[in-house]
């Protein structure tokens, strides 16, 4: 067979493999939801019992309602704030915007379980700040374990997601319209609302849809902050349903997941649409438009910096500071002097415990080595889809969408089953490969987007000229495309590394002795209430993320879309 004929075959093989990897867990979940018992149980038969149960369970409706409020509330908090921050940092002459930008993105890189834990120990009812505040003012007038509290924290932590999309849209805008408005005497506030805002509306709508989706799938924040008051969202309902029954009720978990998919899949489709439109819209600006920054003026600077400072304080300093402090103390409370309590005991214990110290090593391995393997895999998929306008290209498009609609917790559970019951996968179950494969699927859409963006930077002319000169598709990829995207791949690796570092939900059901990872360990430690270890692990997680970020910046990773 000629080399030229191999490219379609390569494309079809890669894309079909991916499709199976993505569809198998989803199909298993859907099948499980229509059974009366775990699918592997002999007594299992086709039944609608699970749906009957959830549809008559008031707890389910409450969780559904709470989830909706949470998702919408998150959008209401995150979108205006993210938009405002993006405007201030990209369109104005704000002081220090160069170093503010990476800071603004920090919450995005941290695992939400770490963030939530940070809030608990900082501003929870027995948090450091709460206690200090109470000792001065007599009472602390906030409560983060309430739905509004959870929504606020969820919203604040998703500001960076909005920021990313809106900022990149704003950067592409020419500044002549804003300048014209300014010259005509409009205030900066007026300019931002009447000129900039309409032009980035598609990006705002897109990030709203994205946050809505993330809101429905959220797990870490409600798990940590909602639990003490019994506030359940759909994902935590799924997680808790086993305990409520006192026996495995996989069919109920699956049925709730199917509901979740019914909500999230349309959102995924809407997003895809919006993204296309947004790109088209932004292209109007044309290339090389000169951007002149809007002058904020003295008062403007102060106000703008105060807004950003306050947001940073609440979204970064409080949770991260809380984790750092809690990691180094064992006792605190009213009348306890923290300076006398400083200790390394929490870390000592983590290092002494084989499962926890192994968890740290595994997390690093999965992020660094696994991240590289994932990039290689995404590159294969990216190449298979690169300028592929055939049927397999469409299949690829849809394959990428499926895992977006599934919460990581469930992807992990489905893979646990696949590794248990699919004979040739069995030997992998107790190795890190099982986690890596699940991580690759969970990170698929994000990872592929980075790779695709990199691949698209290679001008088609280059590929075409290679092809005209007689090179096969493979040769073109090997000699033209891959060398050109290599620097982009290093950046992509760093970004995937950070994504894998912060992952926690996927491993909850999948990990076993020897394959522990930090994030999932924290989820299981939450059940036993081992806060000292959680604090130490959170601290280590933050540290690793910081290292990953530094590396990413060194490698010139493109955080922007």
Partner 1 sequence: MIDRRHFMLASAASVGALAGGLSARAQELPTSYPADYKAIVEKARAEGVVSIYTSTDDVQGRPVVEAFQKAFPGIRVDYNDLGTNGAYNRIISEAAAKQVGSDVVWTSAMDLQMVLAQKGLAEAYKSPEAGHLPGWGNFNDMLYGTTVEPVGILYNKAQLASFKLPKTRAELLAFMRDNKDALKGKLATFDPEKSGTGFLFFSNDAKTMPDTFELVRAFGATEGKTYGSSGAMREKIVSGEHWLAFNIIASYAIEWAAKNPALGYILTSDHTAAFSRVANISKGAPHPNAARVFLDFLLAHSGQSALASVGAPSIRTDVTTGLNLTRLTEMANGNLKPIPVSTALLEPTEPKNRADFFRRWKEALRG
Nearest C-alpha neighbor of 536 from the set 342, 360, 326: 326
Q: Under rule CB under 8 A, how many of the chain's residues touch partner 1?
A: 47
Q: How many CB atoms lie within 10 A of CB 293?
A: 14
Q: Any contact of residue 353 with partner 1 (CB under 8 A)? A: yes
The token pair at 240 is: 């808790």
Q: Which of 20, 31, 40, 309 binds partner 1 (CB under 8 A)?
A: 40
The token pair at 537 is: 């692990």
Nearest C-alpha neighbor of 509 from the set 145, 203, 253: 253
User: Which segment (34-42, 273-281, 362-370, 381-389) binds partner 1 by CB under 8 A?
Assistant: 34-42
Site pattern 530..559 for partner 1 (x: CB under 8 A): xx-x--------------------------
Q: Any contact of residue 58 with partner 1 (CB under 8 A)? A: no
The C-alpha atoms of residue 236 and residue 67 are separated, in whole angstroms, by 10
268 or 534, CB closer to partner 1? Answer: 534
Give me the least distance between CB of 160 and partner 1, in Å please: 30
User: Which segment (80-88, 153-161, 418-426, 463-471) binds partner 1 by CB under 8 A?
Assistant: 418-426
User: Which segment (15-23, 262-270, 339-347, 353-361) binds partner 1 by CB under 8 A?
Assistant: 353-361
> Under a CB-based contact definition with an 8 Å cutoff, are residues 52 and 189 in contact?
no
Q: What is the DSSP letter of 425?
A: G
The token pair at 56 is: 């008559």
Give me the least distance between CB of 442 and partner 1, in Å please: 20
17 or 430, CB closer to partner 1? Answer: 430
Give me the least distance between CB of 322 and partner 1, in Å please: 13
Q: Any contact of residue 243 with partner 1 (CB under 8 A)? A: yes
Measure the N-to-C terminal CA separation of the chain; round to a whole number of Å.
39
Q: Any contact of residue 141 with partner 1 (CB under 8 A)? A: no
Compute φ and ψ for 122, nearest 5 degrees.
-95, -55
Compute φ and ψ for 308, nearest 5 degrees.
-65, -40
The C-alpha atoms of residue 224 and residue 231 are separated, in whole angstroms, by 10
Secondary structure of 349-399 in the HEC alphabet? HHHHCHHHHHHHHHHHHHHHHHHHHHHHHHHHHHHHHCCCCCHHHHHHHHH
The C-alpha atoms of residue 123 and residue 128 are separated, in whole angstroms, by 7
User: Which segment (221-229, 340-348, 383-391, 475-483) binds partner 1 by CB under 8 A?
Assistant: 221-229
User: Which segment (95-103, 188-196, 237-245, 454-462) binds partner 1 by CB under 8 A?
Assistant: 237-245
> Under a CB-based contact definition with an 8 Å cutoff, are residues 47 and 34 in contact?
yes
Q: Which of 355, 445, 452, 472 binds partner 1 (CB under 8 A)?
A: 355
186 or 425, CB closer to partner 1? Answer: 425
Give me the least distance between CB of 238 and partner 1, in Å please: 13
43 or 468, CB closer to partner 1? Answer: 43
Q: Please, is 535 exposed, middle or buried when counting C-beta atoms within 10 Å of its C-beta (0-12, 13-18, 19+)? A: buried
Site pattern 513..532 for partner 1 (x: CB under 8 A): xx---------xx-xxxxx-
Q: What is the DSSP letter of 340?
A: G
Give me the least distance between CB of 121 and partner 1, in Å please: 9
Q: Which of residues 432-471 bind partner 1 (CB under 8 A)?
A: none
The token pair at 192 is: 């931002």
Q: Please, is 65 exposed, middle or buried when counting C-beta atoms within 10 Å of its C-beta (0-12, 13-18, 19+)? A: exposed
Q: Any contact of residue 286 with partner 1 (CB under 8 A)? A: no
Q: Which of 125, 174, 321, 393 binds partner 1 (CB under 8 A)?
A: 125
Q: What is the DSSP letter of 138?
A: S
Site pattern 311..350 for partner 1 (x: CB under 8 A): --------------------xxxxx-------------x-
Rule CB under 8 A: which residues touch partner 1? 38, 40-41, 125-126, 131, 227-230, 240, 242-248, 331-335, 349, 352-356, 416-417, 420-421, 426, 430, 509, 512-514, 524-525, 527-531, 533
């Amino acid at each position: 067979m000629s080399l030229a004929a191999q490219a379609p075959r390569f494309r079809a093989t890669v894309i079909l493999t991916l499709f199976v990897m993505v569809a198998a867990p989803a199909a298993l979940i859907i099948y499980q939801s229509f059974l009366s018992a775990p699918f592997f149980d002999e007594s299992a038969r086709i039944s609608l019992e699970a749906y009957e149960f959830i549809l008559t369970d008031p707890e389910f409706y409450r969780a559904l309602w709470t989830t909706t409020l949470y998702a919408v509330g998150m959008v209401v908090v995150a979108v205006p704030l993210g938009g405002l921050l993006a405007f201030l940092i990209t369109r104005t002459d704000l002081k220090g915007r160069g170093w503010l930008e990476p800071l603004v993105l920090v919450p995005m890189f941290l695992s939400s379980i770490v963030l939530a834990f940070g809030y608990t120990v900082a501003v929870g009812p027995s948090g450091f700040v709460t206690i200090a505040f109470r000792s001065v003012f007599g009472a602390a007038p906030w409560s983060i374990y309430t739905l509004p509290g959870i929504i606020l924290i969820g919203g604040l932590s998703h500001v960076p997601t909005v920021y990313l999309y809106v900022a990149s849209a704003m950067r592409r805008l020419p500044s002549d319209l804003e300048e014209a408005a300014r010259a005509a005497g409009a205030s900066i506030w007026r300019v931002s609302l009447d000129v900039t805002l309409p032009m980035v509306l598609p990006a705002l709508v897109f990030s709203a849809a994205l946050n809505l989706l993330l809101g429905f799938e959220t797990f870490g924040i409600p798990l940590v902050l909602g639990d003490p008051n019994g506030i359940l969202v759909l994902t935590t309902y799924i997680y808790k349903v086993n305990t409520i029954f006192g026996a495995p009720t996989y069919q109920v978990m699956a049925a709730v997941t199917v509901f979740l998919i019914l909500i999230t899949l349309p959102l995924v489709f809407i997003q895809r649409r919006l993204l296309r439109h947004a790109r088209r819209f932004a292209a109007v600006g044309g290339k090389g438009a000169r951007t002149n920054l809007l002058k904020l003026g003295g008062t403007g600077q102060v106000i703008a910096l105060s807004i950003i400072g306050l947001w940073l304080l609440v979204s970064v300093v409080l949770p991260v500071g809380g984790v750092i402090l809690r990691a180094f103390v064992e006792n605190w409370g009213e009348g306890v002097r923290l300076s006398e309590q400083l200790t390394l005991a929490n870390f000592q214990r983590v290092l002494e415990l084989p499962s926890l110290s192994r968890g740290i090593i595994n997390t690093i391995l999965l992020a660094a080595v696994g991240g590289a393997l994932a990039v290689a895999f995404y590159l294969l998929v990216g190449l298979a889809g690169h300028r592929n306008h055939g049927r397999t290209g469409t299949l690829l498009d849809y394959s990428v969408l499926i895992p977006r609609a599934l919460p990581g917790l469930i992807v992990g559970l489905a893979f646990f089953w696949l590794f248990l019951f699919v004979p040739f996968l069995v030997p992998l179950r107790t190795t890190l490969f099982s986690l890596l494969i699940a991580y690759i699927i969970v990170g698929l859409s994000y990872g592929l987007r980075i790779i695709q963006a990199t691949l698209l930077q290679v001008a088609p002319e280059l590929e075409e000229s290679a092809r005209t000169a007689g090179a096969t598709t493979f040769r073109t990829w090997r000699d033209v495309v891959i060398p050109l995207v290599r620097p982009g791949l290093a950046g992509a690796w760093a970004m995937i590394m950070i994504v894998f570092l912060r992952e926690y939900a996927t491993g909850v059901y999948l990990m076993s002795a020897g394959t522990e990872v930090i994030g999932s360990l924290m989820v299981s430690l939450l059940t036993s209430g081992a806060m000292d270890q959680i604090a130490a692990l959170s601290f280590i997680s933050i540290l690793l993320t910081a290292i990953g970020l530094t590396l990413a910046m060194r490698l010139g990773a493109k955080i922007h879309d």
